Amino acid sequence: MKLLLISNSTNAGEEYLRYPLPAIQEFLQGVSEVVFVPYAAVTFSYAAYEKKVQDRLGEIGIRVRSVHRAKDPRKMIREAQAICVGGGNTFALTKKMQEQGLMKAILTKIKAGTPYVGWSAGSNVCCPTICTTNDMPIVEPASFKAIGAIPFQINPHYLDANPEGHAGETREQRILEYIEANPRRWVVGLREGCMLRYEEEKLELIGPRPMRIFRKGRPITEVQAGDDLSFLYNK
């Protein structure tokens, strides 16, 4: 499999998809066209999302074709050179992907070696479930099951901060609740500006910030770019 799982599309003060573009270009070397899944968009149209991604990927010579235009989205996935799944609301994305049978179609395709790029919600749906998303369940999918290309959970946009005067749960506390209920699952807190690349059976952290690691019964730890992450594939 070839996976590029990005925490966030946009760093503060930067243009959309600007910071991950060099990594995307390197990852998609030799690809001229991607099939894009825009279904995480809620407050703007799928066509607008397609254009937004096309405007950026066009800079590196890649054409973007959105599945929302296809009569048979699964066929479009089966014929894709590469697949991109954008961020937004994870529940909206999951519901539509389940309705169109895209979870299984994408898993089959990426297991055959087709490159997959996801950011935010697009990274969430590569996990076994969407249970470590930060999003509100604005719609109800058939289940929380996702593509399952990786055996661990990602929490994108991971934050350490607890704002002054805020008495609610921190991100860490919410993840600790998840691993209490799911003790066999690893969870990684992927901070903004960072991404995970999986290729040639090697998982690599890319970015300037460490990644936070959670597992029931183990101390919370952090890993840096270049560290061995093979343990995330051990149950």
For the question of residue 66 being annotated catalytic, the response is no
Q: CA 174, CA 229: separation in Å to the nearest integer?
A: 23
Identify the three-state secondary structure at position 103.
Answer: helix
Q: Which one of 9, 66, 123, 135 is the catalytic residue?
A: 135
List C-alpha distances in Å: 82 to 57, 74, 122, 133, 218: 13, 14, 14, 24, 37
Q: Is 157 a catalytic residue?
A: yes
Distance (Å, rounded) from C-alpha 94 to C-alpha 130? Answer: 8
Choose the catalytic residue: 68, 120, 123, 230. 120
String of b and e for 44-73 (b: at least 16 CB within 10 Å)?
eebeebbebbbebbeeeebebbbbbeeeeb
Share in percent of the chain as helix, strand, coil (round to 5): 30, 20, 50
The Cα 119–Cα 84 span in angstroms is: 8
Given the residues 157, 160, 228, 230, the one annotated as active site: 157
3-state secondary structure of 204: strand
Is 55 noted as a catalytic residue in this protein? no
User: Which one-letter DSSP state was computed for residue 57?
Assistant: H
Are residues 173 and 189 in contact, defined by beta-carbon separation less than 8 angstroms? no
Active-site positions read: 120, 135, 157
